[in-house]
Chains A and B, each alone.
Chain A
Amino acid sequence: MTTKLLTALLLGTSILGSAGMAYAQDVTLNIESWRGDDLAIWKDKLIPAFEAKNPGIKVVFAPSAPTEYDAAMGAKLAAGSAGDLITCRPFDKSLELFKKGNLADISTLPGMENFSDVAKAAWQTDDGKSSFCVPMASVIHGFIYNKDAFDQLGIKVPTTNEEFYAALDKIKADGTYIPMAMGTKDLWEAATMGYQNIGPNYWKGEEGRTALIKGEQKLTDPQWVAPFAELAKWKPYLGDGFEAQTYPDSQNLFTLGRAAIYPAGSWEIGLFNTQAQFKMGAFPPPVQKAGDTCYISDHTDIGMGLNAASKNADAAKTFLTWVASPDFATIYANALPGFFSLNKTPVKMEDPLAQEFVSWRDKCKSTIRSTYQILGRGTPNLENETWVESANVINGTDTPEAAAKKLQDGLDSWYKPAK
């Protein structure tokens, strides 16, 4: 019954949709995306805001399922039936589309100057000369903590490593809370919320990341092994049986108020706000010594590009320029707390937790995850191996040095940095 109704509705909309296209003089732009969750935000907030300013251009947001997106996109682009605007995955998946000529070069698009080089890096050729997507949002790593628990135990928000472990020791000694909610069962938590979260402070963000790509640094160098050594120290602070604790387990432990600190990505903010019954705060990864420059992982996650075969390229470019503007950034970042605009102009956000996260951009230097650009290509895959080894280090089945050596050996087997 429901499927019949749905089919009828879908049929109805398609007829109406095409009828609308046939009669209107306006240009209609179609956006391809995997973010079905954002449909309401696009329809109710973003598109009306754009259409109000640009009469004559209609925009339709047409998402498909995340798991099918890449395959469906490839087929549609090949058949010439893809939408005018294409939501870009970061790095190689979009780079491949650009190389095949499916995405247009938009390096000179008005508005691109609103973004920093780090922000643009996810959608550039390896030499950084051409850009092909407008950066839309990034996610920031840090630690979310239970403010009530910190107040109750009289703990100050830690800024240095020493304070961080002192706080963990205090929570552990008190015994009311599990010091840190993280598990190693799903592997990626250990790598993404662990290694990539605290790592930039050691390898100095972009400096280390680009040196690694150039081959000037190795994963076995002290600044790359140190984050593993820190992860190894986390083990006693994790909950009982963390080896079998999954990612949803960790989320629940924290939102139920049973754990005090949660190594986080900012995408958690939306969910945590609705689930947690206590006050929350956030702090950036602690630095080694007081006064050190802090670095944060501000990972570019989503962008938007122009279909090179689009018949409405001019209107599409107008839209992309708007996507690159502070107006878009304000609406988007407020509708999706935790997905931060990459625009240089600071965006005013309502959510206090999101504000806290984004404020680190001013005092810390941003970088992206070290294993994504260029290094995330080969076999064995550095990102996937980092998952496995980070979990091994926390589980205590590999030493930090052994883990780093395995990663470097795997990388050496296929990656020859340009000399």
Chain B
Amino acid sequence: MAAAPKRPFRWHIVVFLAPAVLVYSAIMILPLAGTLQLSLFRNIDQSQIFVGLANFRTLFGDPNWSVGFWNALRNNVWFFIIHMIVQNPIGVLLAALLSSPRLRFSAFYRTAIFVPTILSFVIVGFAWKLILSPLWGVAPNLMDLVGLKSLFTPWLGKEQYALTTLSLISVWQFVGIPMMLIYAALLSIPEEVIEAAECDGITGMSQFWKIKLPLILPSIGIISILTFVGNFNAFDLIYTAQGALAGPNYSTDILGTFLYRAFFGFQLQVGDPNMGAAIATMMFLIILGGVCVYLFLVQTRLRRYQF
């Protein structure tokens, strides 16, 4: 074959990609690689020694670590389940209500429901701690007004309720995100599809179930995966509301707080960056696994509609 005229190397692609690649590598890829590397070493006599997978063997083999780890993972799963069965259905419901053309003041509701999302965790944690406080909180008084005082307990201080309570606080804070995403998805459904459905006699609830819901399923999938990643990286709310020991009796300990105590230490407990990195690696693998399952098993089966 005759030598085709050599095309000049397209430098502009490299140049345009460079800033993003550099920034992303510097603040995401490098620390991640550093963490993975750290988890394979151990501090012996003031120097870092390569120990292979020994830290992971300790994490899973030594009951002092493994009990804490499985407890944190179990709590984290429950935290995620609450979000999936409470936050996302409520988000979809709110979005469906908001997109109804007959609703007045929808812009106000939309903003009001979204506001908690932009609040700092610290504010949310402290505000709810005060609201639920048995001493000065408004919750006991409000419940008294409607005659439900007997149902009030110091939720954040009871082992059996604390985690669920915190999950619901987190749901309150973040319900705006699924609502916004679904709302956008609902608005993007073309009028023709809705009109065609109406011509076929599908209106009201059945219109939502048969026409709109299938069309927003990809968005619900994205929200689920965002919730999953967010929940397994969660830390701030538990830390501000319950402290680093995630009391009572570790009942609100999730992977984030477990990692924090191991990595940075707490009170007299001296931090162990290597064990911390091992836990961080496990968190990374759990999240990676979850995202892969979603991408390869769920995402590929979702049907897309081209309008």
A interface residue numbers (CB < 8 A to B): 91-92, 183-188, 239-246, 249, 252-253, 371-372, 376-377, 379-384, 387-388, 391-392, 395, 397-398, 410, 413
The answer to whether A391 touches B248, judged by C-beta atoms less than 8 angstroms apart, is yes
Chain B residues within an 8 Å CB radius of A246: 129
The answer to whether B268 touches A383, judged by C-beta atoms less than 8 angstroms apart, is yes
The interface size bin for chain B is 20 to 34
The answer to whether B245 touches A244, judged by C-beta atoms less than 8 angstroms apart, is no
Chain B residues within an 8 Å CB radius of A252: 135
- Could you give, for residues 250-273 of chain B, a 1 whenever the CB lies within 8 Å of some chain A CB and a 0 otherwise? 100000000000000011111010
Chain B residues within an 8 Å CB radius of A91: 268
Chain B residues within an 8 Å CB radius of A249: 133, 135-136
| B172 within 8 Å of A (CB atoms) | no
For the complex formed, measure the closest distance between the CB of A126 and the CB atoms of chain B, giving whole angstroms: 16
In order of increasing CB-CB distance, the 8 nearest A-B pairs are: A241-B134, A243-B157, A244-B154, A244-B157, A241-B154, A381-B269, A376-B268, A383-B268
Given A92-B270, A383-B267, A391-B248, also A240-B159 (CB < 8 A): no
Interface residues of B in 241-294 (CB under 8 A from A): 242-243, 245, 247-250, 266-270, 272
For the complex formed, measure the closest distance between the CB of A100 and the CB atoms of chain B, giving whole angstroms: 9
Given A92-B270, A185-B157, also A392-B133 (CB < 8 A): no
Q: When chains A and B are docked, how far (Å) is the Cα of A213 from the Cα of B238?
A: 35
Q: When chains A and B are docked, how far (Å) is the Cα of A14 from the Cα of B65?
A: 48
Residue of B nearest to A250 (CB): B135
Q: When chains A and B are docked, how far (Å) is the Cα of A31 from the Cα of B64?
A: 40
For the complex formed, measure the closest distance between the CB of B303 and the CB atoms of chain A, giving whole angstroms: 48
The answer to whether B245 touches A240, judged by C-beta atoms less than 8 angstroms apart, is no
* A413 touches which of B64, B132, B159 (Cβ 8 Å): B64
A-B contact count (CB 8 A): 104
A interface, over-half SS: loop
* A371 touches which of B154, B268, B272 (Cβ 8 Å): B268
Given A184-B248, A187-B245, A397-B248, also A384-B159 (CB < 8 A): no
For the complex formed, measure the closest distance between the CB of B144 and the CB atoms of chain A, giving whole angstroms: 13
The answer to whether A384 touches B248, judged by C-beta atoms less than 8 angstroms apart, is no
For the complex formed, measure the closest distance between the CB of B58 and the CB atoms of chain A, giving whole angstroms: 10
For the complex formed, measure the closest distance between the CB of A240 and the CB atoms of chain B, giving whole angstroms: 6
Q: When chains A and B are docked, how far (Å) is the Cα of A419 from the Cα of B154?
A: 47
> With A184-B247, A371-B268, A384-B266 given, can you name 17 additional A-B contacts, CB distance below 8 Å?
A91-B268, A92-B268, A186-B243, A187-B247, A241-B153, A244-B157, A245-B133, A245-B134, A253-B135, A379-B64, A379-B272, A381-B267, A384-B269, A388-B245, A388-B249, A392-B248, A397-B248
Given A187-B247, A391-B248, also A384-B135 (CB < 8 A): no
| B156 within 8 Å of A (CB atoms) | yes
Chain A residues within an 8 Å CB radius of B269: 379, 381, 383-384
Q: When chains A and B are docked, how far (Å) is the Cα of A241 from the Cα of B248?
A: 13
The answer to whether B154 touches A384, judged by C-beta atoms less than 8 angstroms apart, is no
| B155 within 8 Å of A (CB atoms) | yes
Q: When chains A and B are docked, how far (Å) is the Cα of A244 from the Cα of B132?
A: 8
Residue of A nearest to B135 (CB): A249
Question: Can you spell out 9 A-B residue pairs with CB atoms less than 8 angstroms apart?
Answer: A92-B268, A185-B242, A244-B134, A245-B133, A245-B134, A245-B135, A249-B135, A384-B268, A391-B248
Given A187-B245, A388-B247, A392-B249, also A381-B268 (CB < 8 A): yes
Chain A residues within an 8 Å CB radius of B249: 388, 391-392, 395, 397-398
For the complex formed, measure the closest distance between the CB of A22 and the CB atoms of chain B, giving whole angstroms: 38
Q: When chains A and B are docked, how far (Å) is the Cα of A395 from the Cα of B65?
A: 25
The answer to whether B135 touches A241, judged by C-beta atoms less than 8 angstroms apart, is yes
The answer to whether B243 touches A187, judged by C-beta atoms less than 8 angstroms apart, is yes
* A245 touches which of B140, B157, B266 (Cβ 8 Å): B157
Q: When chains A and B are docked, how far (Å) is the Cα of A253 from the Cα of B136?
A: 10
| B158 within 8 Å of A (CB atoms) | yes
For the complex formed, measure the closest distance between the CB of B56 and the CB atoms of chain A, giving whole angstroms: 16
Q: When chains A and B are docked, how far (Å) is the Cα of A242 from the Cα of B133?
A: 10
Q: When chains A and B are docked, how far (Å) is the Cα of A243 from the Cα of B153?
A: 9
* A243 touches which of B62, B158, B266, B268 (Cβ 8 Å): B158
For the complex formed, measure the closest distance between the CB of B73 and the CB atoms of chain A, giving whole angstroms: 18
Q: When chains A and B are docked, how far (Å) is the Cα of A252 from the Cα of B136?
A: 10
Residue of B nearest to A187 (CB): B247
Chain B residues within an 8 Å CB radius of A241: 133-135, 140, 153-154, 157
Q: When chains A and B are docked, how far (Å) is the Cα of A42 from the Cα of B65?
A: 45
Chain A residues within an 8 Å CB radius of B248: 184-185, 187, 243, 388, 391-392, 395, 397
Residue of A nearest to B68 (CB): A380
Q: When chains A and B are docked, how far (Å) is the Cα of A384 from the Cα of B261?
A: 11
